[in-house]
Structure 1
């Protein structure tokens, strides 16, 4: 079976799409952690997910889940939860792959592609496809940007569509994609990578039939909702070129300004940082059309007794401390030297 692990706080409508799209795109079962289970709308999400046969819903209360203290950072909570799921699945042969995805992502996976991964390779890569963003969209977009080669990036820069000829400038969200691991391999998951227990990044299998659809901010309404939610979710890390915009958005979303003033400047930041020149991208044939709800996959049910076995493992791990499930990548030598210099400078 192909499973996903996610930590979410979203509207019931978005969660319904998230579940339906992933299950139609090749996922068999989803483990969904509710990051703020008592906030408005979340009890409704919990009730719907609890009734879904292909979802395991885990509300992460401060007493019921975070028994040794809730980490302040959203990124840390996400990593911990994903690796709890991996540990829970470790003894089960029916758990073939586990992918760590966010609530605004869809794992586009192909069973034949995953069956063809060499036996000695325990990780796969899902490169990102990013949904185009416009302030007003009549429905959820089905056009996506893919990572581009240098020639196309240079063309877009010369045309003034992007500021520099890089995929980091072309994409508004991450360009690293997501990873999946064989749960029995012992590999851990970060937000994007598959790593060993000592933090070493692992080689990942690639296949054009595998990718992750990222609905980073497909509309102005979703852009505002997302950044308002992130402002309340605690510290998070962003890639360096996006950090100033993220900091500005957090400050604006959490300010006590009049609502109309806040809305005006959220729109201005959106136009400056996120709106796509969809007409140009379509003219240049740089977009791919894909509707995950029409992907046609049917999720496979648990084998006999598997649901009960997974529930028992989750309950066992829920009762214990969670900090040990956080695994961080080893820093490259240059970064280790920078850290050392900072520490020496403080002594």
Structure 2
């Protein structure tokens, strides 16, 4: 089975697109950590049979909640990765954000050599426009130097580099075979020394759709959410001025109405794409994640209940041990404690009750 893990704070429509698109695009089950969320979002996730939702409140972090969102994301991803290493039914775990949707050819994935422990997904980024009628339908792919130089010469980008063409990451996303000696970062699979591991890639059939600031409204929502999530993260050089400008604007204490025109000016000057030019030059890829044909695999009996029970049991454990670079031996000790008494995927009474515990937490 293929699973994803995400730490999210988003609107219900965006999360519905995220869940439904990933299930259509090759995913069998999603683990979602709610970094914050309204009751409507949590209720919808709780009720979805192919989602395991965990609220990361004070009982999850045990008074040691990392201030940086990126650290929380990495820890949560590796908690799930570690737990799945004790579950024989999980083949791959991918770390994605709420604005990302996998497009994975499962036949290609099944043919990845057994000794290959990491798979890399190529990024496709949604074209940024002031407004889309519905979900975005056109995505940018990574370009070679000739096309990037053409776009620079036409004034569509500032310099001939994919880092200037894409507003979000250009690294794509990765999945790993669950094990305690392999770690998930935001984009890569790494070893204990945090060195990136060799990865299998197929840019045409293993990819991820990235809904990065695809509209003016989403740009405002996403960046205000990022800046409110904790200390400013490290951004790529091309995006750092945007983050600094937005922080300075938000710190002015303006009302939403007063700030709105300035936020839109920042979007127009830093993020809005020249859609017509990119389309007419044949540089865009059309994609509709909800039109995917994947039918999620049915897990072995008791498997998802087993995972949910382990997620509840690990709630009482220190989470810093799951950050990349920490000793795998310490993680194994935690796993020994939380899996004590479990027999494979057979559900005990505690396992069967795990989902209700997760909902109440």
Q: TM-score, normalised by structure 2?
A: 0.87
Q: Which moved more, 1:316-325 or 1:162-171?
A: 316-325
CA distance in structure 2 between the partners assigned to 1:95 and 1:255 by the alignment: 48
> Which residue of the other structure, out of 53, 59, 81, is the alignment partner of 1:57?
53
Match of 1:76 in 2: 71
CA distance in structure 2 between the partners assigned to 1:171 and 1:113 by the alignment: 27
Match of 2:27 in 1: 27
Match of 1:173 in 2: 168
Q: TM-score, normalised by structure 1?
A: 0.91
Match of 2:330 in 1: none
Match of 2:36 in 1: 36
> Which residue of the other structure, out of 298, 302, 307, is the alignment partner of 1:305?
302
Q: What pairs up with 1:97-116 in 2 under 5 angstroms?
A: 97-116=92-111
Match of 1:334 in 2: none
> Which residue of the other structure, out of 249, 255, 258, is the alignment partner of 1:258?
255
1:215-266 Cα shifts (integer Å, max 9, x gaps): 0011111111111211210122211221111121133235411333311111
Structure 1 residues not aligned, in runs of 5+: 330-347
State the shift of 1:328 in Å. Answer: 5.0
Question: Could you say what secondary structure the match of 2:246 adopts?
Answer: helix
Q: What pairs up with 1:140-179 in 2 under 5 angstroms?
A: 140-179=135-174
Contact residue 12 and residue 45 of structure 1 kept, 8 A = yes
> Which residue of the other structure, out of 313, 316, 319, is the alignment partner of 2:313?
316
Contact residue 68 and residue 322 of structure 1 kept, 8 A = no
CA RMSD in angstroms comes to: 1.3
CA distance in structure 2 between the partners assigned to 1:205 and 1:144 by the alignment: 23
> Which residue of the other structure, out of 275, 280, 288, is the alignment partner of 2:277?
280
Question: Could you say what secondary structure the match of 2:201 adopts?
Answer: coil
Q: Which moved more, 1:250-259 or 1:141-150?
A: 250-259
Match of 2:225 in 1: 229
Question: Could you say what secondary structure the match of 1:183 adopts?
Answer: coil
State the shift of 1:195 in Å. Answer: 0.4
How many residues align? The count is 324
> Which residue of the other structure, out of 216, 241, 250, is the alignment partner of 1:220?
216
CA distance in structure 2 between the partners assigned to 1:93 and 1:106 by the alignment: 25
> Which residue of the other structure, out of 313, 324, 329, is the alignment partner of 1:327?
324
State the shift of 1:282 in Å. Answer: 0.6
Structure 2 residues not aligned, in runs of 5+: 327-361
1:71-92 Cα shifts (integer Å, max 9, x gaps): 0000000000000000110022
Contact residue 230 and residue 250 of structure 1 kept, 8 A = no
Q: Does 1:240 align with 2:233?
A: no
CA distance in structure 2 between the partners assigned to 1:302 and 1:133 by the alignment: 37
Question: Could you say what secondary structure the match of 2:200 adopts?
Answer: coil
CA distance in structure 1 between the partners assigned to 2:151 and 2:2 by the alignment: 37
State the shift of 1:105 in Å. Answer: 0.5
Contact residue 190 and residue 328 of structure 1 kept, 8 A = no
CA distance in structure 2 between the partners assigned to 1:30 and 1:74 by the alignment: 20
Match of 2:177 in 1: 182
CA distance in structure 1 between the partners assigned to 2:48 and 2:287 by the alignment: 25
Contact residue 123 and residue 180 of structure 1 kept, 8 A = yes
1:100-128 Cα shifts (integer Å, max 9, x gaps): 00011101112111111111100010111
Contact residue 82 and residue 180 of structure 2 kept, 8 A = no
CA distance in structure 2 between the partners assigned to 1:76 and 1:185 by the alignment: 18
Match of 1:343 in 2: none
